[in-house]
Amino acid sequence: MAITLNTKHMKEFVSDHELAAIEPQVAAAHKTLTEGTGLGNDFLGWTTLPRDYDKEEFSRIKAAAKKIQSDSDILVVIGIGGSYLGARAAIELLCSPFYNNKKKDTPDIYFAGNNISADYLNTIVELCEGRDVSVNIISKSGTTTEPALAFRVFRDMLEKKYGKEGAKGRIYATTDKAKGTLKQLSDKEGYETFVIPDDVGGRYSVLTAVGLLPMAVAGIDLDQVMAGAAQAMEDFSDPDMAKNDCYRYAALRNILYRKGKSVELLVSYEPAFTMMNEWFKQLFGESEGKDGKGLLPASVVFSTDLHSMGQFIQEGRRLMFETVVEIKKPKKDFYIQSDPANFDGLNFLAEQNMSVVNEKAMQGTVLAHTQGGVPNIILEVPQIDASEFGYMVYFFEKACAISGYLLAVNPFNQPGVESYKKNMFALLGKPGYEDQKADLEAKLK
């Protein structure tokens, strides 16, 4: 298990003295994080989660997953933001982006409640027709509009299909241990509940029941996931930046930010990484983007996006740097055969593995983009498996926390998320928002 920071192509963008200059700040951020003295210090549960996770609940998660696998064709996972992205990223990366279409002995998994689209919801409802369904509603607050709305629909569906008693055995609620409407409802109705710990914020919660239950249902080895995260917890505990790739990555991205870069593009050459990109964007976007500061996290999947965003990256406004996640080995390679007729002239690619072509595309792109003035940080990941996933999650979470402290923001809150909600509630006529409603409607006229 490893993530190795490769800075071979960074020399012309960040010099050794710049790294040396930021070292004391990284050491200070490390101290702040480990001593729990910084902003948002009541949300540091994720730092020790790989070691201190609730073992009893862990077994219950596995047992619930087994039951869902045995009595359900479909699991509908309802949640948004941190209560959704990690599980989906894990399933797409570790199983397949085509997980639901694959021949398998685990249930299909659909993610609902992460938008307010009638068409999206209707499609999942239709897909559930005639099939056995379980639901995992995930919401720390229990009041988030999107998942709450979807839960109404699927709870009603299950109660109609299986009766109140039958539905009860098919609804699993992942929420706060004591407070919130979802917890109250679960206790009243007798749903099995799993806990999002008080000191773990949504976007840092993938290694709690939030991510683990859907992962287990998909057949992902949870022990491996936690073992990977535990290894990363140990590997990235060294305060010395020279020995800590996670901290050097945080330092490099901060230096580039201070030098005027405003966008970090997370790059992968694996389409299965697409939802990991989304998870990364939430993690860094919500953690850093505040007080008028922060790198805008964006993402691309190459070589697909080389045929769209590639032009901008090569020659457009010089506002970004790239962080390339280089997965060294595919799960299974594909051998390219030679074609005796060679109509397409592609025989120069034949008699070798597809991964070699992908690797050369990556190397060529890194050289082209750095020559075009785009710094490229490379994160080398040996392969994709459950332990590497756990390792990667911890790496990015810690890099994000250190980055937030380097930026002097609270990496664990998200006050800005409330603004749209207030406006939406006012426009929809939620009681208590009457004054704002008139104001907003006047602005819309």
Active site residues: 286, 421
Q: With CB under 6 A as the contact rule, which of the stretches 40-48, 77-85, 239-247, 248-256 interacts with ligand PA5?
A: 77-85
Residue 38 or 82 with smaller CB distance to ligand PA5: 82
Encoded one letter per residue, x for contact with ligand PA5 by CB under 6 A and - for no contact, window 99-118 reads --------------------
Residue 164 or 179 with smaller CB distance to ligand PA5: 179
- Minimum Å gap between C-beta 85 and ligand PA5 is 8
Position among 92, 264, 286, 326 found at the interface with ligand PA5 (CB under 6 A): 286
- Separation CA 39–CA 405 (nearest Å): 8
- Separation CA 276–CA 151 (nearest Å): 25
- Separation CA 263–CA 375 (nearest Å): 11
Residue 30 or 140 with smaller CB distance to ligand PA5: 140
Residue 144 or 268 with smaller CB distance to ligand PA5: 144
Q: With CB under 6 A as the contact rule, which of the stretches 26-34, 134-142, 231-239, 389-397 interacts with ligand PA5?
A: 134-142
Position among 81, 197, 404, 411 found at the interface with ligand PA5 (CB under 6 A): 81
Position among 140, 183, 261, 290 found at the interface with ligand PA5 (CB under 6 A): 140
- Minimum Å gap between C-beta 81 and ligand PA5 is 2
- Minimum Å gap between C-beta 197 and ligand PA5 is 12
Residue 117 or 304 with smaller CB distance to ligand PA5: 117
Position among 88, 170, 183, 203 found at the interface with ligand PA5 (CB under 6 A): 203
Q: Is 297 in the site for ligand PA5 (CB under 6 A)?
A: no
- Minimum Å gap between C-beta 147 and ligand PA5 is 6
- Separation CA 399–CA 377 (nearest Å): 14
Q: Is 398 in the site for ligand PA5 (CB under 6 A)?
A: no
Position among 1, 22, 80, 327 found at the interface with ligand PA5 (CB under 6 A): 80
Q: Is 370 in the site for ligand PA5 (CB under 6 A)?
A: no
Position among 139, 231, 376, 403 found at the interface with ligand PA5 (CB under 6 A): 139
Backbone angles phi, psi at 380, to 5 degrees: -90, 125
Q: Is 144 in the site for ligand PA5 (CB under 6 A)?
A: yes
> 4-6 and 108-112: which strand pairing?
unpaired
Q: With CB under 6 A as the contact rule, which of the stretches 32-40, 198-206, 315-323, 336-344 interacts with ligand PA5?
A: 198-206
SS (H, E, C) the chain: CCCEEECCCCCCCCCHHHHHHHHHHHHHHHHHHHHCCCCCCCCCHHHCHHHHCCHHHHHHHHHHHHHHHHHCCEEEEECCHHHCHHHHHHHHHHHCCCHHHCCCCCCEEEEECCCCCHHHHHHHHHHHCCCCEEEEEECCCCCCHHHHHHHHHHHHHHHHHHHHHHHHCCEEEEECCCCCHHHHHHHHHCCEEEECCCCCCHHHCCCCHHHHHHHHHCCCCHHHHHHHHHHHHHHCCCCCHHHCHHHHHHHHHHHHHHCCCCEEEEEECCHHHHHHHHHHHHHHHHHHCCCCCCCEEEEEECCHHHHCCHHHHHHCCCCEEEEEEEECCCCCCCEECCCCCCCCCHHHHCCEEHHHHHHHHHHHHHHHHHHCCCCEEEEEECCCCHHHHHHHHHHHHHHHHHHHHHCCCCCCCCHHHHHHHHHHHHHCCCCCCHHHHHHHHHHHC
Q: Is 285 in the site for ligand PA5 (CB under 6 A)?
A: no
Q: Is 414 in the site for ligand PA5 (CB under 6 A)?
A: yes
- Minimum Å gap between C-beta 423 and ligand PA5 is 16
Q: With CB under 6 A as the contact rule, which of the stretches 80-88, 158-166, 267-275, 426-434 interacts with ligand PA5?
A: 80-88
Position among 38, 50, 82, 107 found at the interface with ligand PA5 (CB under 6 A): 82
Token pair of 70, please?
């045995």
Q: With CB under 6 A as the contact rule, which of the stretches 70-78, 139-147, 162-170, 374-382 interacts with ligand PA5?
A: 139-147
Residue 75 or 306 with smaller CB distance to ligand PA5: 75
Q: Is 215 in the site for ligand PA5 (CB under 6 A)?
A: no
Helices 274-288 + 386-406 axis angle, to 10: 20
Position among 25, 41, 100, 141 found at the interface with ligand PA5 (CB under 6 A): 141
CA count, 13 A, side-chain hemisphere, 237: 12
- Contacting positions for ligand PA5 (CB under 6 A): 80-83, 139-141, 144, 147, 201-203, 286, 414
